Amino acid sequence: MNTYFRILLGEPKNRVLHLHQSTLNRLKTFAIAIHIPIALWATTGYVIAARIFEFEQKPALLVSGFCACLVYLIERLVLSSPKNAGVTAMRGLLGLVMAIIGASMVDLVIFEREVVLSLQRDAELELRADIDARLDAKEATIRALRADSDTARQAANCEANGTCGSGVRSVGPIYRELLAQADSLRDEYRQAENEFAQMEREGTAAIERLREQGVDTSKAGLLSRIEALHRYTLENRTALAAWAVFFLLILLLELMVVFVKMSSCETVDDLINQVRETVAAHKALAYKQAVTSPLAGAEELLSSQGY
């Protein structure tokens, strides 16, 4: 297990053999902590590929492996970087983005039934709106035909009693033409009424078929699913609370390596390395001053002249 942790963190064997126990314990803690985001994103990557994008098993496993390797490199970068506010802020921002993505994708799987119900409702509302629009247009046509038929019939009656038209009370050719026109318009609006009733029956049947067959969620895009999920969670306080808790859990797991690194204390080996680096820097500075000083140049000139 210790060898596995050492290889995972990229520590050379000869260096680990000379470390104190406190440093070894810290390395073990880092190695354990780095498994959490790796396992999280390996699982999340597979779920996203298999359940959301409906990949086959092998491509889904490749996506899972890629996500795990990417997160591993990011966590190694965090561990090898110095402990400062900039690195912590950068990793925190990255963890926040990854948590949003991870929580949203996994929530689509956890709340899959709710997403399907929301998509079903949206499809039904869209279908009903389309049916209502066509029925309204047909109803307007019926009203216009009925008004035209009534106008033509009034004109025929007016021609028959001589109050308008030719001014002669008669049921002659003009009256019969006007009456035929009124009857034709009456037939048209009655036909339109029959078509309206047929459209109503077909619309009701279409809605019933949609409810029975359901929505084909495989054709729904990722953004449509996320929108349906967020709309459902905003309308349901319990679902919103569950999403918030799960999001917080994902965020904390994503930032586990940062928390462990920020809470770790300096060990004896850290102090020894600081002393060694300070001494090495002092020696380098002293050597630079000795080589670049005017006295060193004079001594080199005298030596070249044989003095």
| Amino acid 217: pLDDT | 61
Q: Determine the Cα–Cα distance for residues 233 and 238; give it in Å rounded to an integer.
A: 8
Query: Tell me: the pLDDT tens digits for 102-142?
Result: 667 767 777 777 777 777 787 888 888 888 888 888 888 88
Query: Tell me: the pLDDT tens digits for 285-298?
Result: 877 776 666 655 55
Banded pLDDT at 164 (limits 50, 70, 90)? low
Going from N- to C-terminal start, the domains of the chain cover 2-110+238-265, 113-220, 266-307
pLDDT reading at 65 higher than 90: yes
DSSP string, 205-232: HHHHHHHHH---GGGS-HHHHHHHHHHH
Query: Tell me: the pLDDT tens digits for 227-270?
Result: 777 777 888 888 788 878 887 888 788 788 878 877 878 888 77
Mean pLDDT confidence for 62-84: 84
Tell me which of 8 and 65 has the higher pLDDT.
65
Q: Determine the Cα–Cα distance for residues 148 and 185; give it in Å rounded to an integer.
A: 7
Asked if 38 and 76 count as a contact pair (C-beta separation under 8 A), the reply is no
Look up the pTM and report it.
0.61
Banded pLDDT at 61 (limits 50, 70, 90)? very high
Nearest alpha-carbon partner for 267 in 5, 6, 26: 26
